[in-house]
């Protein structure tokens, strides 16, 4: 499998897509992001809602075709790019279209970001099934601790193994909680990636 990039999708809102995307970028390149904001995020919506709802509130027209063009233009200028999804895989991003259809348009392999705790088995397996039903190749899944670990949740220890068993998808590791996102440093992120993630499947794609 060879591609110009990878798509990161989440099992839900706040499943850790941004941290996982940043971790993949940190692990795949040494330099920081140099691209202008409009290239990284061509449509910026204020409300923390699904893209289609937020766009309707702000009078913005969204288009699957335009989103796909923006992503392709970004990827054309990169050796390898990371496209971060919005919400979950089936979140509406334009009239009549969900993020899954954008992923299909791009045709890139996918990394799934998921919560590590109770409930993640069902959410992650449903996401994996939806990806496979669309014919999208899945590189693996990553757990992201978006909150401090809950010592009272005994499921965390076994969840990844059950998802591998039932979903037939590799586990790439778990990002630990690194503090609030606005206080996160590149150094801390890079150290966590080296210690906790297996990026070898992505490196094979990027070469």
CA dist 121 and 148 (Å) reads: 19
Which helix (H) or strand (E) element contains residue 165?
Answer: helix 156-167
34, 132, 157, 204: the catalytic one is 34
Of 46, 41, 42, 44, the closest CA to residue 57 belongs to: 46
CA angle 203/67/64 to nearest 5° reads: 120
For the chain, how far is it from start to end, CA to CA, in angstroms? 10
Read off φ and ψ for residue 117, nearest 5 degrees: -90, -165
Q: To which H or E segment does residue 51 belong?
A: helix 51-58
Cβ burial 159-191 (10 Å sphere, 16+ → b, else e): bbeebeeebebebbbbbbebeeeeeeeeeebee
Annotation marks residue 4 as catalytic? no
- In terms of Cα–Cα distance, which of 26, 131, 135, 57 is closest to 88? 131
Catalytic residue list: 34
């Amino acid at each position: 499998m060879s591609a110009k990039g990878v798509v990161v999708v989440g099992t839900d809102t706040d499943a850790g897509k941004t941290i996982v995307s940043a971790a993949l970028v940190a692990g795949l390149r040494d330099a920081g992001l140099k691209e202008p904001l409009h290239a990284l995020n061509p449509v910026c919506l204020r409300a923390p809602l699904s893209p289609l709802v937020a766009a309707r509130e702000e009078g913005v027209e969204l288009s699957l075709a335009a989103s796909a063009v923006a992503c392709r233009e970004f990827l054309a200028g990169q050796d390898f790019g990371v496209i971060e999804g919005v919400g979950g895989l089936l979140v509406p991003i334009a009239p009549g279209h969900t993020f899954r259809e954008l992923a299909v348009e791009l045709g890139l392999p996918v990394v799934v970001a998921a919560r590590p705790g109770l409930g993640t088995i069902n959410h992650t397996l449903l996401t994996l099934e939806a990806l496979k039903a669309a014919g999208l190749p899945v590189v693996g899944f990553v757990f992201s601790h978006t909150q401090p670990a809950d010592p009272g949740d005994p499921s965390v220890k076994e969840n990844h193994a059950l998802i591998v068993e039932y979903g037939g998808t590799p586990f790439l590791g778990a990002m630990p909680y690194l503090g609030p996102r606005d206080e996160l440093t590149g150094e801390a992120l890079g150290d966590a990636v080296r210690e906790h993630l297996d990026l070898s499947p992505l490196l094979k794609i990027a070469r």
